[in-house]
Amino acid sequence: MKFKIDENLPTELAEMLNDAGHDASTVYLQKLDGEPDNVISEVCQMEERAIVTLDIGFSNIQTYPPAEFSGIIVLRLVRQDKHHVVEVFERLIPMLLEEDLAGKLWIVDEYRVRIRE
């Protein structure tokens, strides 16, 4: 799968995905940091990449209909320090082999993943 890690997340998430055999890039690597969400979403759609973000705006299915994306993962974490984010995301990676992300919105918290189509 192909992913884009938003600027509000540690770049280590891209490394973790790449190490797991995925193709992950970051908003920073493409010099898209500071760009509005609609620009990031358009780039993700063109590149057929799922977006991984802390930005809850991407969980608005009227603005960002999951069916139009290769996937949207929104992390809704109580703590957003780097160590905690990496720890939670590490538990998420095996799910990517079991559950199809394309056309879906995953809302991830510390204890569960809610999936919307």
Please give the tally of structural domains in the chain.
Answer: 1
pLDDT in tens, 89-115: 999 999 998 999 999 999 999 999 999
For the whole model, what pTM was predicted? Answer: 0.95
Q: What is the DSSP string of 4-61?
A: EE-TTS-THHHHHHHHTT-EEEETTTTT-TT--HHHHHHHHHHHT-EEEES-GGGG-T
pLDDT for 24-77, tens place per residue? 999 999 999 899 999 999 999 999 999 999 999 999 999 999 999 999 999 999
SS3 content of the chain, % helix, strand, coil (to 5): 35, 20, 45
Phi-psi bin for 87: left (phi > 0), alpha (psi -120 to 50), beta?
alpha
**Domain range holding 98?**
2-116
Q: Residue 22 belongs to a domain with what CATH number?
A: 3.40.50
